[in-house]
């Protein structure tokens, strides 16, 4: 057996996130996060914190304006500073302080205490789990049977994403008819968590795959899906079990380029929302290729059974 590692130069993308694979289920970082609004005056922002960025703000247009005066005369940035230094448990308790502090959606908060956490039970409400992605800032994405969830073990909250409609198949949802490849991560430009769903569609009439993907994206700040035009990517096919790799604002998948019978890497930029092929080595279809991060750079681990 032969092992090869292909590394894409980190000068192309500045990878700064620690290497966390979807199967690595420990919480690695101090963690953090945001989302809806709780603690600020303007009310349309949530705060989040992670190891590298300190505090960031996320717009949340779903939130009502909060009352600016609800901070005992302390300036808003001081209030955020103070609250961001509280452990998760305290922040959750503060949901009872007043209504604006009590969010409607998933709440995610900074916490150093999580670094001691080694395992956590998944909410039993989540049905048959197929795939786990993350964590990104303490937030996991769980792909259950016919449903996607976001889960924050620190706050013990799970949120079921709204269903993403299927534009191609008008008949009832049949999970066996097609499969999904999911990418999940932060859009660093807009400070929003996004989930990209690439669906390979199956036509029951012809018993063939449609010659295109359908790409949809979910934004956490608006809690809504956005459909892209159906992407004519006839030259690519994604593996049914191809896990995505997220790094620094970009999701990657390995895919097969049909006409050339070799493997390529597809990337989806969370910020500019474009799916594209990135330059890579010429990998024969017969080799198994796993995406990963190696010394902070995007890498492909190739296993060749000689």
Partner 1 sequence: MSKLGQAKRIIFLKTADGQLFEVDEPVAMEFEIVKSFFDENEDAADDTVVPLPNVSAEPLAGIIEFCKAHVEFRANGAAGKDEVKKFNAEYIKEKSNEQLKELILAANYLNIKEMLDFLTETIANRLKNKSVEYVRAFFGIENDFTPQEEEAVRKEYEWAFEGVDED
Gyration radius (Cα) of the chain, Å: 21
Rule CB under 8 A: is residue 129 a binding residue for partner 1? no
Q: How far apart are CA 3 and CA 294, in angstroms?
A: 14
Among the listed residues 28, 70, 226, 262, the single contact to partner 1 using CB under 8 A: 70
Among the listed residues 29, 34, 60, 71, the single contact to partner 1 using CB under 8 A: 71
Nearer to partner 1, 79 or 177 (CB): 79
Rule CB under 8 A: is residue 120 a binding residue for partner 1? no
Among the listed residues 5, 12, 68, 82, the single contact to partner 1 using CB under 8 A: 82
Place of tokens 């992407």: 231
Rule CB under 8 A: is residue 239 a binding residue for partner 1? no
Rule CB under 8 A: is residue 83 a binding residue for partner 1? yes
Rule CB under 8 A: is residue 172 a binding residue for partner 1? no
Q: With CB under 8 A as the contact rule, which of the stretches 26-34, 93-101, 159-167, 238-246 interacts with partner 1?
A: 93-101
Residue 115 burial (CB count, 10 A): 13
Q: How far apart are CA 275 and CA 298, in angstroms?
A: 17
Rule CB under 8 A: is residue 130 a binding residue for partner 1? no
Query: What are the CA-CA distances from residue 38 to residues 19, 84, 156, 305 (Å)?
Result: 30, 11, 17, 54
Rule CB under 8 A: is residue 263 a binding residue for partner 1? no
Q: How far apart are CA 98 and CA 38, in angstroms?
A: 10
Among the listed residues 12, 68, 78, 160, the single contact to partner 1 using CB under 8 A: 78
User: Min. distance of Cβ 73 from partner 1 in angstroms?
Assistant: 7
Rule CB under 8 A: is residue 287 a binding residue for partner 1? no
Is 182:133 a contact under the CB 8 Å cutoff? yes
What's the CA dihedral at 198, 202, 203, 209 to 10 degrees? 90
Rule CB under 8 A: is residue 226 a binding residue for partner 1? no
Q: With CB under 8 A as the contact rule, which of the stretches 96-104, 114-122, 168-176, 183-191 interacts with partner 1?
A: 96-104
Among the listed residues 89, 130, 226, 239, the single contact to partner 1 using CB under 8 A: 89
Q: Taking CB under 8 A as the criterion, which residues in 141-160 touch partner 1?
A: 156
Rule CB under 8 A: is residue 65 a binding residue for partner 1? no
Record the tokens describing residue 84, joined without a space: 């961001």
Q: How far apart are CA 254 and CA 228, in angstroms?
A: 21
User: Min. distance of Cβ 71 from partner 1 in angstroms?
Assistant: 5
Query: What are the CA-CA distances from residue 134 to residues 85, 211, 251, 268 (Å)?
Result: 23, 30, 12, 16
Nearer to partner 1, 82 or 231 (CB): 82
Query: What are the CA-CA distances from residue 203 to residues 109, 111, 216, 255 (Å)?
Result: 43, 47, 19, 21
Q: Which residues contact 13 (CB under 8 A, 6 or more apart)?
A: 247, 248, 250, 298
Nearer to partner 1, 12 or 97 (CB): 97
**Binding residues for partner 1, per CB under 8 A?**
70-75, 78-79, 81-83, 85-87, 89-90, 92-99, 102, 156
């Amino acid at each position: 057996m032969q092992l090869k590692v292909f590394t894409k130069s980190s000068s192309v993308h500045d990878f700064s996130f620690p290497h966390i694979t979807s199967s690595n289920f420990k919480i690695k970082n101090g963690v953090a996060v945001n989302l809806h609004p709780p603690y600020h005056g303007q009310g349309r922002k949530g705060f989040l914190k992670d190891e590298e960025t300190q505090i960031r703000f996320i717009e949340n247009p779903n939130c009502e304006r909060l009352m600016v005066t609800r901070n005992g005369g302390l300036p808003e940035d001081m209030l955020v500073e103070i609250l961001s230094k509280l452990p998760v448990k305290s922040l959750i308790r503060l949901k009872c302080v007043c209504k604006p502090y009590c969010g409607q959606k998933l709440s995610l908060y900074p916490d150093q205490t999580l670094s001691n956490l080694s395992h956590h039970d998944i909410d039993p409400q989540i049905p048959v789990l197929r795939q786990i992605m993350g964590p990104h800032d303490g937030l996991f994405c769980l792909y259950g049977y016919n449903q996607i969830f976001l889960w924050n073990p620190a706050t013990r909250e799970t949120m079921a994403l709204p269903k993403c409609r299927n534009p191609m198949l008008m008949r009832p949802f049949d999970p066996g008819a097609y499969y999904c490849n999911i990418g999940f991560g932060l859009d660093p430009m807009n400070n929003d968590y996004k989930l990209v769903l690439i669906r390979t569609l199956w036509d029951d009439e012809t018993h063939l795959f449609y010659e295109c993907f359908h790409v949809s994206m979910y934004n956490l700040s608006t809690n809504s899906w956005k459909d892209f035009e159906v992407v004519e990517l006839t030259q690519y096919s994604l593996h049914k079990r191809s896990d995505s790799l997220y790094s620094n604002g970009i999701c990657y998948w390995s895919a097969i380029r049909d006409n050339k019978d070799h493997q390529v890497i597809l990337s989806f930029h969370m910020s500019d929302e474009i799916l594209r092929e990135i330059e890579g080595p010429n990998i024969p279809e017969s080799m198994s290729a796993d995406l990963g991060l190696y010394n902070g750079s995007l890498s492909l681990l190739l296993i060749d059974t000689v």
